[in-house]
Amino acid sequence: MCAVSVVEDPGCEIEGLVVTFDDRLWPAIEAREYRYDALPLESASFHDDRPHDGPLLIFKASAGSDHFGDEDNPITLTYIDVILQGFLREFGTDGVDRFMATTEGWHVPIVDDRARPRYPRAQQLSTDERNLVDRMLTSVDARLLPADDGGPPRTSW
C-alpha cells in the first residue's frame, strides 16, 4: 500500500504535530516507519508556547519508497480517513482544506476498505467526518476502487 510523505517546498508550510516519546520507544517507531527517513527539521515555528526539547524530526519517504502509488500499490481509504480526521480535530475544516490544497497525488487509486479496514490504525469516523472525507475526495476527483478490486471505480459517494 502507498502512504503519504512530505516534499520539500521552500515556499510552503506544513501543519503537523510534535510528538514526544520516551527514547525506549524509538525501536518501535523505527519499525513502524521503516520506509521513511527521519530527517532533522531545520526550522520550525510553533503556534503555542509549549517547550520543545530535543531534536525535531520529520519523516520523509526513503528513496526506494518515494513515488506515487498505482494500481498495484493503491492507498487505502481508511488511511485517508485517519489523516483527515486528525487534521479536522487539530486544525478544523480550514486545516483540512489546506491539507487537500497542498497535497499532490490524488490521481493515485484509493481502495475503499471501510467495510474491512486494511490500514492497521484505522479509526471510527462520525457521520460528519465521513461525509467531509467523501466531499474532499470528490473535490479533487479522486478515483475510488472497491476493496475487492474486481469492479469499476466507484463514481459516487
State residue 152's pLDDT score.
Answer: 40
Q: Provide the CA 156 distance to its chain's centre, in angstroms.
A: 22
Distances (CA, A) of 19 to 35, 54, 68, 76, 151: 19, 11, 26, 24, 40
What does the block give as the cell for 14?
506544513
Calpha distance 37→35 (Å, rounded): 7
pLDDT in tens, 43-71: 666 666 666 666 778 888 888 777 777 88
State residue 98's pLDDT score.
Answer: 92
| Residues of the chain below pLDDT 50 | 149-157
Calpha distance 81→114 (Å, rounded): 9
91, 98 Cβ separation under 8 angstroms: yes
Calpha distance 31→99 (Å, rounded): 26
State residue 46's pLDDT score.
Answer: 61
